[in-house]
């Protein structure tokens, strides 16, 4: 039994060390913040529409707004560990979100028109914009 505990303990220590090293990178923290924001968005949508029966368009908008707050907060405080004026960063972040909306619509529509299935087009647009968003966030929003 002692050997099992020792093995488990060593496994936990190694996993903790790997996680600590991995999260030293702002890119990894940015990715984790994005995943957590998606979970917040989907979770809020489920609670609002699935459990509370809020009208779907309103529930979707509220869930998006909640995820927006989660994403901005995680990126500012954790991913980029930014100080400075919150108002300026928030304004720039909103500009990025609006630009993402237009870019996503254009990319998904364009790639679908070229023959890609729309969900593949959405995945491609999301991957491309994630890279762009990281660079913009690091160099312009959360300096």
Average pLDDT (28-41) is 96
Which of these, 8, 5, 32, lies nearest to 20 by C-alpha position? 32
Residue 6: per-residue pLDDT? 75
Q: How high is the pLDDT of residue 10?
A: 86
Q: What is the pLDDT of residues 89-142, one digit of tens each?
A: 999 999 999 999 999 999 999 999 999 999 999 999 999 999 999 999 999 999
Q: What is the per-residue pLDDT for 17?
A: 85
How big is the CA angle at 82 (ends 68 and 126), to the nearest 5 degrees? 40
């Amino acid at each position: 039994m002692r050997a099992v505990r020792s093995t488990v303990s060593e496994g936990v220590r190694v996993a903790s060390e790997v996680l600590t090293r991995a999260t030293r990178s702002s890119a990894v923290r940015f990715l984790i913040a994005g995943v957590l924001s998606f979970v917040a968005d989907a979770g809020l949508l489920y609670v609002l529409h699935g459990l509370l029966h809020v009208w779907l368009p309103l529930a979707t908008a509220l869930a998006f707004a909640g995820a927006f707050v989660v994403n901005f907060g995680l990126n500012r405080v954790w991913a980029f560990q930014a100080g400075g004026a919150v108002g300026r960063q928030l304004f720039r972040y909103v500009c990025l979100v609006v630009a993402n909306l237009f870019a996503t619509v254009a990319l998904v529509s364009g790639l679908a028109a070229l023959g890609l299935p729309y969900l593949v087009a959405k995945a491609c647009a999301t991957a491309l914009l994630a890279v762009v968003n990281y660079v913009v966030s690091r160099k312009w929003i959360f300096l």
